[in-house]
Amino acid sequence: MSYGYSQNLIQANKSASVKLPGVALGRACISAGISVNDVAEYFGVSRMTVYNWFKGDSSPVKNLVEPIQRYTHLVKQYNRV
Tell me the pTM. Answer: 0.91
Is residue 61 domain-resident?
A: yes
pLDDT band at 80 (very low <50, low <70, confident <90, very high): confident
pLDDT tens figures, 31-47:
999 999 999 999 999 99
Is residue 1 domain-resident?
A: no
Is residue 52 domain-resident?
A: yes
- Structural domain count of the chain: 1
Is residue 43 domain-resident?
A: yes
d(CA 46, CA 15): 23
Is residue 65 domain-resident?
A: yes
Is residue 2 domain-resident?
A: no
DSSP string, 25-81: HHHHHHHHT--HHHHHHHHT--HHHHHHHHHTSS---HHHHHHHHHHHHHHHHHHT-
| Residue span of the structural domain in which 41 resides | 7-79
pLDDT band at 79 (very low <50, low <70, confident <90, very high): confident
